[in-house]
Amino acid sequence: MKFRIFISLLLASISAGAIADNYDISVTRKGSNLYKVDSKDIFIHTRYCYEYVYYEESFLRMNGYSGEIIFTDSGGKCDVKAVYGPSEQEAGKYSVTINREDDDWYEVWGQSIYIKTSACLSLALGDEAVLALSAGGYGTLYVEDDECMVEGVYSRMSL
């Protein structure tokens, strides 16, 4: 009987530990609600986060697709909408419908793919666009009369 209780408690503690993961990282703010993990091609998309950081030691606490980030020096804390890693897209031209999520961060509608641009001013909301990619995920996003430089194409990560 004691052995069964012990096994039950052990399994409960193992599964509870697997629910949330914690990461010590360094991040730099790359845009409104967008932080890049330094030395990695990983972006953290936050909600209403106004921490202006540059190579800031931080603590990322994730539970599946969402979580929170704590900035060590300032003590600030922000909700994390999602974490994104590189998406392997073949070079070529793609007809896409995009929505602006935040500055220089666009969602390809219905594809779970996100585009990181540079200095793109389009306020796209269900706009048709052409995504021209070269090898490595770089390229151009053509939205109406705007040409936006694409820094990368990303998809959501589950941590």
Q: For 10-26, write each residue's pLDDT tens digit.
A: 344 444 444 568 999 99
Q: Are residues 61 and 96 in the same domain?
A: no
Q: Is 48 part of any domain?
A: yes
Asked if residue 70 belongs to a domain, the reply is yes
Confidence of residue 7 (pLDDT cuts 50, 70, 90): very low
Over the stretch 27-77, which tens digit does the pLDDT of each residue have?
999 998 999 999 999 999 999 999 999 999 999 999 988 899 999 998 999
Residue 18, φ and ψ in degrees, nearest 5 = -80, -10
Question: 152 and 97: one domain?
Answer: yes
Please indicate, yes or no, if residue 126 is contained in any of the structural domains: yes
Residues 91 and 81 in one domain: no
d(CA 12, CA 5): 10
Spatial contact of 117 and 149, defined as CB atoms under 8 Å apart? yes
Place of tokens 């995920």: 137
Taking CA atoms, 142 is separated from 6, 18, 128, in Å, by 60, 42, 9
- Distance CA(141)–CA(122), nearest Å, equals 10
Residue 128 shares a structural domain with residue 141: yes
- The angle at the Cα of 102, spanning 99 to 107, to the nearest 5 degrees, equals 30
| Domain co-membership, 121 together with 81 | no
The total of structural domains in the chain comes to 2
Domain residue limits at 97: 87-157
